[in-house]
Structures are given as structure tokens and as C-alpha cells.
Amino acid sequence: MESGRAPGNRRARVSDVAAAAGVSPTTVSHALSGARTVNVATRERILSVARELGYVPDRVASGLRRRRTGVVGLIGDNIAETPFAGRIIEGARRAGLEHDVLLMVGESGGDPEAEGHLIELFRAQRVDGLLIARMYHQCVPRPLVPDDLPVVLVDAVPEPDWLVDAVVPNETQIAALACERLTRAGHRDIAYVGTTDESRAAHGRLLGVRLALDNAGIALSDRRVAFCTSDAWGGRRAGGELLEQDNRPTAIICFNDQIAMGVMQAAARRGISVPEGLSVVGIDDLHPVADALDPGLTTVALPHSEMGRWGMARLIERIGGAPLGADQAVEQLPGWLVERGSVAAPVR
């Protein structure tokens, strides 16, 4: 038999591999799937023959037998416009491949009707389960998903009446980590620039700042807190307000890296050097911003890839029959500090 070909130039089948390896089709199936133990030498011979014949398992036929397709759908709200979306998808994709699961991705644009349509399209493709992802930490209502279709939320939590697994960043820990970096450098007069957006991330990070500073014996007064839009324009405005104060702060923590960029720009406009005259810490580790600034921005990275990986791993468990029960909860994953050059000891 010519290498890479089955009789009649057709696609190789399990029976072709079995005939060439001198074993039964059942033994081939067990060797390829790992469902049952096969003698090591026999398994190696079967794998070698399968490669020579170019044998590729028929996922559709296998899925019909197992009532699974080995395909999972991911629906995001604003994937195309969000820099971190690729990390979530990559984490989920890699975790899926470890279990021979393929990932299909769709975007709703934040439109509930479009999301519902995507759910129907994925169901028509007989996906084994769904990852429903948001591009920032928020609470989501239950879409029209049948009870027998496993679902895991990524960067989102369910409304109280929806029993489903979810994974989010530990916002309090992430903001506390930013505070600890500044207090470790010796700062005591620290300000915070938060966002005017209403989100769980906004509330969690402000709480984390307050708790961490309180634990360090530092009072966060109202005059040291400012709120703005979640972009550089907002950071310039809010940073300017803080830096125009008498006895201005020596360090500023920002809700995200875009705001931190605006704060650094506000400092530069006033002749205040970073980090010599002002230390700045962001949150996100948004590479096009944090790496490009001069000096580079010290920031706290969010676990986007890790959330995608956790979500896929948990979804595979649910697809495999692990029941929702006492272990159902919102998993909070920590962030980590990324040191660059925007923090130094205070000069006063």
C-alpha cells in the first residue's frame, strides 16, 4: 500500500490501519483514543501505521457515537475592539487542545439579541458547551441557554438566580498589589484615580486600594480620590486636578493603564518628572501603552489567559458529567506586578 494512501485513493479508515498493523479495528480504536490500555509495542506500531496512511479520526462519526462533537463555543461581547480578548481566547484554546477540544469563537458586539442568535448557531453546530466571555468584569443575566448545555462565564459573574461556574480577576488583590508597591517604596501620600464607569472592577479596585492603605496605616482622604472616564483624556483631567493641589501627592494609583498614561502626561505638562517627582502605577499591563511610555509604566497584569484556561478546563469537567453543586462558585484569579520604571522613592 502506498504511504499516505488507502485503497482506491480514498481517505484512510480504522479498518485500513488495522489491516496494515495486523490487529483488529477495536485494538486500533483503543490505541488511538486511549480509552483502554494497549501493549506499548502494539500501540507504537499502530500509531506508526496511522501516520504512514495519513489516518485522521472522523470527529463527526466519533461525536455521534459519544454524543459529543469535541467542539466548544466562545461568545464574547467586544472581542475585536479589546486588546485583551486574544489572551482569553488563547488560554481557552490551549486548554481545549490538551483535551482534543476545538474552540469556535463568535462576537455579539454587546447586543443581547446577537448573542442569542450566536447561541442558536452554536447549538446548531452541536457544540458540547459554551464559554460566555465579557471583556471587562461585570454581572450578566442568563441568556436563553438550555439546561442541558454546560456554560461557564469568563470575566463575568452570573445574576443571583443563575447557577453557573464563573471566573474573574481578584480586583481587590490586584489593586492592593499596586498599593503595596508604592508603600514598599516609602510613599505615604498616595492618591487614587478611579473610573466613572459602573462596574464590578471599579468597585473592587477602589475597595482594594482603601483596604491596602488602611492596613499600611495610611488614610485615603476624599481629596486624594478622583474619578474620570477610562481613557488618557480622563487621566489628564483627573491627574491635573490632583497635581494642582497644594502639597500634591507623591504617588498615584490608576484604575487602568490608559488613565495612568493621562496622569503621566498631566505631570509632564506641569514639569513634574516621573518617577523622580511622582510615582505612577497602573492596572492591566496593556502592552501598547505600558511598554511605549517613557519611563515604562509599572502596572499590575490581569489574568486574562489564565481565566480563559480556567474557564475551558472547568467547562470540560462539566461536559464530562461533573455536576454543578457545592463546588459551583465564582473563581477569583490573582494579578501580578510588572515592574518597569514609573516608581521611585519619594523625594519628600
| Residue 2 predicted with pLDDT over 70 | no
CATH number, domain 171-302 = 3.40.50.2300
In terms of average pLDDT, the best of 80-94, 119-133, 281-295, 298-312 is 298-312
Give the whole-angstrom CA distance, residue 137 versus residue 197. Answer: 12
Q: Where are the domains of the chain?
A: 7-57, 67-168+304-334, 171-302
Element (H, E) at 149: none
Give the number of other Cβ atoms within 10 Å of residue 218's Cβ: 18
Q: How many residues does the chain have?
A: 348
Residue 346: what pLDDT? 92
Chain-centre distance of CA 220, in angstroms? Answer: 31
Task: For the domain made up of 67-168+304-334, give the CATH fold.
Answer: Rossmann fold (3.40.50)
Please state which of the ranges 52-61, 86-95, 134-143 shows the lowest mean pLDDT. 52-61
pLDDT band at 328 (very low <50, low <70, confident <90, very high): low
Query: Do the domains 171-302 and 67-168+304-334 match in fold?
Result: yes
pLDDT band at 345 (very low <50, low <70, confident <90, very high): very high
Enter the pTM of the model. 0.79
Amino acid symbol at 333 = L
| Residue 331 predicted with pLDDT over 90 | yes
Mean pLDDT computed over 1-8: 48
**Rg of the Cα atoms in the chain:** 26
Q: Which CATH superfamily is domain 7-57 in?
A: lambda repressor-like DNA-binding domains (1.10.260.40)
By the 8 A CB rule, do 70 and 101 touch? yes
How much of the chain exceeds pLDDT 70, in percent? 91
Residue 327: what pLDDT? 62
pLDDT band at 94 (very low <50, low <70, confident <90, very high): very high
